[in-house]
């Protein structure tokens, strides 16, 4: 079966009035230079216009005076473009930005779409198509848009056997059976989807680089990778690869991967040089080192700065970068040792290296100190390393948030994280200003999102999980935008402009994370999932394991004391937050059990005891899934039947699994504490 194109499934515009108004502006397309990439952008526009308006504009490149009216596309600085664009306007457009405006010139109706670069043009084309689909008024069109962050990258955890680590939407679109797939069609459609959200980079292989994937950086695979890179290039997206730090041993046959060893240094220089002969604009390497059994510089007694800088030096002459992950911790911890605290690990490993990384190294930091739980505090590395390029890593794939069976829109969570004020440079030192590079004036900063797509017919398993991919791209482009706005736009582009559809789906999206949190692990608890696959409840699944993910519940209290008197984790924050997180009364309640060890009889702000809150939260959350179901059922007949049925199916599963969560967790607490539910609902002794 043919897959859907998500928010790019163009539907015919039926509004005659609007069509008549816009036709003059779009009936021709004029490109001021016949460049391969600009032509592709123009073709993209042409296809869009064909589907939405049923017209077939001709792409012209003849001399401008022959051009009647329509859309003019080109790079800033070109003579034709200069007729329409003032110097002030031109100066406002950044490298990847674009300008779109309408002008009436000699009674011609013209849209001008200009950018500094080919990627700006392709972003602009998608923006224009979307504006037209949303029936924007063209006569007053006047926009200049620039992405706020330099790096907006999708991370694939795709393995070469075709499986996807933590993937819930089918198999890889890039790999199968140890090979790179031959058909590039789906990859091209994926590039289109990503470009339409503003993404500019992609890592196509898993950060855990094992087996055949180690060899991706060799001539065995580079010819095919260069074809993939070309497709992404058409859409403004650079290809990056995850590498294994011990490649000099595995591929090069050296006896060491020590980053200070001259042979190792030379090996990487040669390898990088060769990669660039295949992919001249190769983005660089993503590295997971010394983490979860991946090799790294620690093996040789070297620092992560030694490791990252060695690679960075090799990449520098070609403009490449090293994206180094901060997800480094001891995954063989002893649960009996109550003094070590996994939450502290990233900061402990990296804070001492602030200022030691070269300029083309970026530290990629998970949004929280643990691992993509439904709720975590912001990682203290944001605002903790002023002299280091930083990217924030979000998990679009829903490993811990319902695995695309549960509806869990993540935009609301991400927005809260981005709006967190670290206070590192006084009030207003928001995470979003750190990761867009503006707070410390750094060049390479940005966003990384672990992909939620696979080869399933709707890309994301749950059709509504497409909103997470869309939102990631849009927030990375502009973290100042409201998620409500972003979600609305997604609904309109995906489902059309029916009022009820908009209202109901918007409610579902904006409330879904809160609901999921309520019936799974509220109050910053986390880690009550089944070990390994991480789906479904298991209150002590990780409690006595080595992974360092404890809630330490006993019969009296639960939660970890991470205050300055406990594990000392709060000391990693700016004093403003240290003081708040240290104080049980001031600590934001949704993070209470992350920072504090709290007796079940402790009264929360509402006056409820902690244990009663737990019971209530799980019942409320599971009940609210009914509201999600009801809101969806109300849309029957208004939504494509296949999509409607698929989502209905998943909501049904969500309900069953929410009940399981509710009952398993509540029973656990009842048995642990012996304190009955005031409302008499928790009945299994
Ligand atoms: C964890 C995943 C694991 C990843 C790891 C990572 O469970 O599969 O390899 O993160 O980010 O969330 O490296």
263-293 pLDDT tens trace: 999 999 999 999 999 999 999 999 999 999 9
287: Cβ–Cβ under 8 A, 6 or more apart, which residues? 207, 242, 243, 245, 296, 307, 308, 311, 322, 323, 324, 325
Average pLDDT over residues 86-105: 95
The closest-lying atom of ligand 1 relative to the alpha carbon of residue 207 is 13
Pocket test for ligand 1, best of 163, 165, 450 (most atoms within 8 A of CB): 165
Closest CA to 450 of 515, 366, 380, 374: 366
Q: Which residues are catalytic?
A: 292, 371, 399
Q: In the structure, what pLDDT confidence band is assigned to residue 636 with cuts at 50, 70 and 90?
A: very high
Q: In the structure, what pLDDT confidence band is assigned to residue 531 with cuts at 50, 70 and 90?
A: very high
The answer to whether the CB of 208 is under 6 A from ligand 1 is yes
55-70 pLDDT tens trace: 999 999 877 767 789 9
Q: Reduced to 3 states, what is the DSSP secondary structure of residue 223?
A: helix
187-221 pLDDT tens trace: 999 999 999 999 999 999 999 999 999 999 999 99
Q: Do 367 and 379 meet the contact criterion of CB atoms below 8 Å apart?
A: yes
Closest CA to 8 of 487, 470, 449: 470
The closest-lying atom of ligand 1 relative to the alpha carbon of residue 393 is 11
351-372 pLDDT tens trace: 999 999 999 999 999 999 999 9
CA distances from 110 to 62, 237, 417 (A): 17, 29, 41
Q: Where are the beta strands (DSSP E) in 367-452?
A: 389-395, 446-450
Q: Are strands 361-366 and 389-395 parallel, antiparallel or unpaired?
A: parallel
Measured CA to CA, the distance from residue 553 to residue 556 in angstroms comes to 8
What is the overall mean pLDDT for the chain? 96
pLDDT of residue 58: 92
Work out the angle between the directed axes of helices 499-519 and 483-495 (0-180°, nearest 10): 130
CA of 525 relative to ligand 1 center, distance in Å: 19
pLDDT of residue 63: 75
Average pLDDT over residues 568-589: 98
**138-142, 208-212, 540-544: segment of lowest average pLDDT:** 138-142
Q: Do 362 and 445 meet the contact criterion of CB atoms below 8 Å apart?
A: yes
CA of 164 relative to ligand 1 center, distance in Å: 12
Q: Are strands 28-31 and 58-60 parallel, antiparallel or unpaired?
A: parallel
The answer to whether the CB of 288 is under 6 A from ligand 1 is yes
pLDDT of 596 > 70? The answer is yes
pLDDT of residue 684: 75
The answer to whether the CB of 207 is under 6 A from ligand 1 is yes
Closest residue by CA, ligand 1 atom 1:
371
Pocket test for ligand 1, best of 155, 203, 399 (most atoms within 8 A of CB): 399
Q: Do 163 and 210 meet the contact criterion of CB atoms below 8 Å apart?
A: no
pLDDT of residue 68: 81
Q: What pTM was estimated for this model as a whole?
A: 0.97
pLDDT of residue 317: 98
Closest CA to 489 of 138, 127, 33, 46: 127
The closest-lying atom of ligand 1 relative to the alpha carbon of residue 372 is 12
CA of 168 relative to ligand 1 center, distance in Å: 14
The closest-lying atom of ligand 1 relative to the alpha carbon of residue 288 is 13
The answer to whether the CB of 662 is under 6 A from ligand 1 is no
State the CB neighbour count (10 A cutoff) for residue 165: 14
CA of 3 relative to ligand 1 center, distance in Å: 28
Q: In the structure, what pLDDT confidence band is assigned to residue 1 with cuts at 50, 70 and 90?
A: low
The answer to whether the CB of 163 is under 6 A from ligand 1 is no
CA of 203 relative to ligand 1 center, distance in Å: 15
pLDDT of 107 > 90? The answer is no
The answer to whether the CB of 175 is under 6 A from ligand 1 is no
């Amino acid at each position: 079966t043919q897959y859907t194109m998500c928010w790019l499934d163009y539907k015919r515009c039926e509004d005659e009035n609007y069509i008549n108004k816009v036709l003059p502006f779009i009936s021709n397309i004029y490109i001021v230079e016949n460049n391969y990439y600009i032509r592709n952008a123009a073709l993209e526009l042409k296809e869009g216009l064909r589907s939405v308006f049923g017209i077939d504009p001709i792409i012209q490149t003849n001399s401008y005076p022959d051009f009647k009216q329509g859309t003019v596309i080109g790079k800033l600085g070109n003579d034709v473009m200069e007729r329409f664009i003032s110097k002030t306007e031109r100066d406002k457009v950044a490298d990847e930005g674009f300008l779109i405006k309408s002008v009436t010139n000699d009674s011609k109706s013209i849209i001008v779409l200009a950018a500094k670069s080919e990627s700006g043009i392709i972003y602009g084309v998608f923006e224009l198509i979307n504006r037209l689909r949303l029936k924007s008024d063209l006569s007053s069109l006047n926009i200049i848009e620039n992405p706020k962050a330099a790096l907006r990258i999708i991370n694939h955890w795709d393995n070469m056997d075709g499986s996807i680590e933590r993937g819930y939407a089918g198999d890889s679109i890039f790999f199968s059976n140890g090979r790179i797939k031959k058909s590039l069609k789906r990859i091209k459609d994926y590039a289109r989807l990503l470009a339409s959200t503003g993404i500019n980079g992609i890592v196509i292989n898993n950060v855990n680089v094992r087996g055949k994937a180690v060899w991706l950086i060799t001539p065995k695979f580079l010819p095919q990778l260069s074809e993939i890179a070309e497709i992404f290039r058409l859409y403004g997206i650079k290809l990056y690869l995850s590498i294994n730090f011990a490649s000099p041993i595995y591929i090069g046959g050296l006896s060491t991967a020590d980053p200070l060893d001259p042979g190792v240094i030379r090996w990487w220089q040669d390898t990088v040089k060769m990669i660039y002969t295949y992919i001249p604009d190769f983005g660089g390497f993503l590295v997971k080192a010394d983490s979860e059994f991946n090799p790294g510089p620690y093996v040789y007694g070297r620092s992560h700065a030694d490791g990252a800088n060695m690679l960075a030096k090799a990449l520098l002459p070609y403009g490449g970068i090293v994206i180094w992950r901060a997800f480094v911790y001891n995954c063989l911890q002893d649960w009996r040792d109550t003094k070590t605290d996994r939450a502290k690990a990233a900061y402990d490993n990296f804070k001492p290296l602030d200022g030691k990384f070269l300029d083309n190294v970026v530290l990629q930091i998970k949004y929280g100190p643990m691992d993509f739980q439904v709720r975590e505090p912001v990682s203290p590395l944001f605002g903790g390393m002023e002299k280091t390029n930083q990217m924030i890593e979000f998990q679009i794939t829903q490993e811990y948030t319902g695995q695309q069976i549960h509806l869990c829109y993540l935009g609301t969570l991400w927005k809260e994280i981005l709006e967190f004020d670290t206070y590192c440079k006084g009030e207003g030192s928001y995470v979003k200003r750190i990761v867009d590079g503006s707070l410390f004036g750094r060049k390479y900063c940005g966003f990384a999102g672990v992909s939620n797509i696979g080869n399933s017919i709707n890309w994301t398993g749950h059709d509504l999980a497409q909103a997470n991919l869309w939102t990631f791209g849009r927030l990375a482009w502009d973290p100042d935008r409201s998620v409500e706005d972003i979600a609305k736009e997604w609904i309109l582009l995906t489902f059309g402009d029916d009022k009820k559809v908009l209202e109901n789906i918007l409610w579902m999206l904006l409330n879904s994370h809160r609901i999921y949190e309520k019936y799974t692990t509220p109050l910053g608890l986390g880690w009550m999932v089944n070990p390994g696959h991480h789906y479904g409840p298991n209150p002590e699944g990780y409690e006595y394991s080595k992974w360092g993910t404890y809630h330490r519940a006993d019969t009296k209290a639960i939660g970890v004391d991470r205050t300055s008197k406990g594990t000392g984790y709060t000391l990693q924050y700016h004093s403003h937050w240290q003081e708040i997180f240290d104080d049980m009364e001031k600590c934001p309640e949704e993070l209470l059990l992350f920072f504090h060890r709290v007796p079940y009889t402790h009264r929360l702000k509402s006056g409820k005891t902690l244990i009663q809150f737990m019971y209530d939260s799980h019942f409320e959350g599971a009940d609210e899934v009914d509201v999600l179901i009801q809101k969806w059922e109300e849309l029957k007949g208004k939504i494509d039947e296949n999509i409607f049925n698929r989502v209905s199916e998943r909501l049904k599963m969500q309900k069953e699994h929410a009940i399981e969560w509710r009952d398993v967790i509540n029973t656990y607490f009842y048995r642990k504490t012996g304190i009955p539910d005031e409302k008499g609902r928790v009945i299994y002794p």
